[in-house]
Structure 1
């Protein structure tokens, strides 16, 4: 029994071939992002490929923390 969790659509078709995983573009830079196990629960909410893209996109409205 495996403790890994994947979306139901991925469980049947994923057999180690990363090309079969879903992907979508990063909102900030447009690079394609492939599905990751870490994003299994929040794949619909994932918008940025990295922290750098997240900071560059949302850095304009952050205030000084002190």
Structure 2
């Protein structure tokens, strides 16, 4: 059993909060930039 603290983590490109690895991101972890759909949507709406 892997402990939550042992999982890799990243910082969200939109909100700046840290988020941990999830099983559904197993194959695309290198491509994940946002912690949630909300942050991904906000990043698309902002110019630049």
TM range (shorter): 0.7 to 0.9
Q: Does 1 or 2 have the higher relative contact order (CA < 8 Å, sep 6+)?
A: 2
Gaps of 5+ in 1: 1-14, 62-66
| TM, length-normalised to structure 1 | 0.65
Gaps of 5+ in 2: none
The count of corresponding residues between Structure 1 and Structure 2 is 47
| TM, length-normalised to structure 2 | 0.87
Which 4+ runs in 1 deviate beyond 2 A?
none
CA RMSD of aligned residues (A): 1.2
Q: Whose Rg is larger?
A: 1
